[in-house]
Amino acid sequence: MAGEVPDLNQLGHRAPRDVTMRLRHEVARLLQRDSTSFPGAQPVSFSKHHIQDNLLQQDYYVCEKSDGLRCLMYLTAERNQDQHEEQAVYMITRKNEYFYINDIYFPRANDIKEFNRDCLIDGELVFSKSPETGKSEIKYLMFDCLAAGFNTLLVDRFYDKRLAYLKSFIYEPFKRLCTDYPEDTIVFPFKATMKHMDFSYGLQQVFDVLQPKLGHISDGLIFTCRTSPYVSGTDRNILKWKPSEENSVDFLLTLDIPVYQPDGFVNYDTKPRFQLNVWYGGDSNKPFGELYLTDDEWETIKALNEPVDERVVECYKDKEDRWRYLRFRDDKTNGNHISTVESVLISIDNPVTKDDLLDAVPIIRKNWKLRDHERQLKHQQHQQHQQKQQGVLKRPIEGNEMPPRKK
């Protein structure tokens, strides 16, 4: 069963429509995009061919996959009632909604009195148990940086460079602020931190050391290519791996409620039929299957006193091949696209196991080291070539020696 996720309405408030439209255009200009759609990258489900085609051929980072609320953080500047500029922090959901976050501040690296602006960070909000107090707290786990200022667009940089900017320009100044002013920053609605990244051949460390110590729920791994740019929308160089029992699909749920015959009145006392619909793009949703709910599960859902019809629901397959309820996904407007559903079904029917990944680690490490050695050789050759060219240009002309003529 999936865990609860933080509620943005409790951390701030949703921006009005006119403000949201303005912010969408601001972010599009910042990223030099024509589209004002949600700018976040979406991973693809891990299949067996990804070991050979991706992990063995390219450098990948790996981190744990958190079970939280995915959202981008936008740091900008707005004028207050006194017409003075101050920092404004917004969270952007997958629905492309903007939530203004109260009482939090991200300073610049060189001056705590100056605030970061024109920055866009990718991350996930989670409930995490504090190792010091044992109490639950909200954390924003940052794992990518699209822009670190209007003149510092990062989407075309390698992933390790984006992480370096994220650490130096966003995370470390925020961390110093919290360390130096603990009484002032304790009121922040969440703590911002960076996700721990390992090289792809460090999988054993992630499984055995990192995941057991997490204060939040983790349901898999994320592999991100080191040399790929940041891609808005589906990015086939970001791979989402889950154990077979954790694989899930998001569907649009619709209820087929029976009616009394022959008068046609709706029969709310009888459990309805729960139809699961797959998204085909645009406004197109087509029936795919049915959700199996026990009577007790249905009573629990009804007790929420919330709308159920035409709501996105996350489901998993049980051992009897039935789709079962995990949770509602109110952060999403549509269920998964049919291509994603088909990919997840492949992962369910032909799963990549933890042992499959660990068995590949030795050759992943070997190939990474070979590529690294080749990069070092090319770098040395480039440096030698430059030094040689500089030596030719700087060599003094002796006596009546003339430079050779071009033939």
Instruction: State residue 47 phi and psi, 5-degree precision.
Output: -125, 165
The reply to whether 286 belongs to the active site is: no
Beta bridge partners of residue 147, listed in sequence order: 120, 153
Of 280, 386, 296, 294, nearest in space to 334 by CA: 280
Side-chain-side CA neighbours of residue 128 (13 Å):
24
The three-state DSSP-derived secondary structure of 232-262 is CEEEEEEEEECCHHHCCEEEEEEEECCECCC
The single residue listed with the structure tokens 């009804």 is 302
Residue of 65, 191, 317, 332 with catalytic role:
65
Peptide bond into 189 cis (omega under 30): no
Structure tokens at 3: 């865990």
Contact between 59 and 100 (Cβ < 8 Å)? no
Contact between 325 and 238 (Cβ < 8 Å)? no
Contact between 137 and 73 (Cβ < 8 Å)? no
DSSP symbols for 332-377: -SS--BHHHHHHHHHHHHSPPPHHHHHHHHHHHHHHHHHHHHHHHH
* Residue 164 to residue 61: CA distance in whole angstroms: 14
Of 49, 195, 203, 20, nearest in space to 122 by CA: 195
Contact between 352 and 51 (Cβ < 8 Å)? yes
Q: What single-letter DSSP state applies at residue 310?
A: T
Catalytic residues: 65
